[in-house]
Amino acid sequence: MNAIAPPEAVAALAHTGWRARLRLEFERRATRTVIARREHVGPLRVQKALYPEGDEVCQAIVVHPPGGIVGGDRLELEVGLGAGAWAQLTTPGATKWYRSAGDTATLTTRFSVGAGATLEWLPQETLVFAGARVATATRIELARGARFTGWEVVGLGRTASGERFASGQFRQSIELCDDTGLAWCERAVLDGGSPALQSGAILGGSPVFGTLLVAGATVDDELLARCRAIACPSGIAAVTRLPRIFVARYRGDSTPAARTYLAMVWRSLRPAVLRRAAVAPRIWST
């Protein structure tokens, strides 16, 4: 089912900057996962459902047609999975946050994963230009037996052109709850040009960082050892197994290296914890 949001929601576009909202609901119907409902306001869409692995896994590509986000823009992504559904979401390219004249741009993401359902959130990197003011908030809620795998790679400044994150602000909040309560909570406030960015306890001067989270699945000792043995192309990386969540981290100078490393960890994890071969989305190669 496709729907355009009601007029009062469309009226929100009159505010400073774009208001964009996308709501998706996935359902399991017999052996097939389908997009049962999608609603959008403004420039945030999803392309047609894809099935590169067969009916069970529904792959969808979330698209922001303007290609970049400016101060004052407000984006909202809300995804719900019914019991037993399996969705894999990605993006067609890097998300770019442009320099702001003063207003903060925001992205709010909410995932609700039903009993026995599986969500894979595998976006391409986030690039925060110098002078950008960005606030992102992600909340993942897992029902009993639900599974989640997701990552985020952030590059501060356009390092390929020599730009450093000398001004601006990047704020990030990530919360993951399972059926027993809060399993993971992380918040960061990174001010451009701040001495704190050089601290070894934070980024140690590195402009790129990435995190992969796996919840609702068991990582045994053998799999943990395999993940720890994965060589990072550049920068430094580590993995940690906590009682209710598995975490992989990257810190370095290269967004391609960060994405390559996290993808290698995902390729090791997926067959073991999700019981499916690691088939990379085709859009990653275009």
- DSSP H/E element including 223: helix 221-228
Q: pLDDT tens across 118-148, in order?
A: 999 999 999 999 999 999 999 999 999 999 9
* 128: in domain: yes
In this structure, are residues 93 and 120 in contact, taking their beta carbons and an 8 Å threshold?
Answer: no
* 261: in domain: no
pLDDT at 14: 39
- DSSP H/E element including 221: helix 221-228
pLDDT at 3: 47
Which tokens hold the place of 175? 């919360």
Domain limits at 117?
Answer: 2-205
Q: How high does pLDDT run on average in the chain?
A: 92
Length of the chain: 286
* 47: in domain: yes
Q: What percent of the chain stands above pLDDT 90?
A: 81
Into how many domains does the chain fold? 1
* 214: in domain: no
Note the pTM of the prediction, 2 decimals: 0.91
* 180: in domain: yes
In this structure, are residues 55 and 32 in contact, taking their beta carbons and an 8 Å threshold?
Answer: yes
* 226: in domain: no
* 141: in domain: yes
* 161: in domain: yes
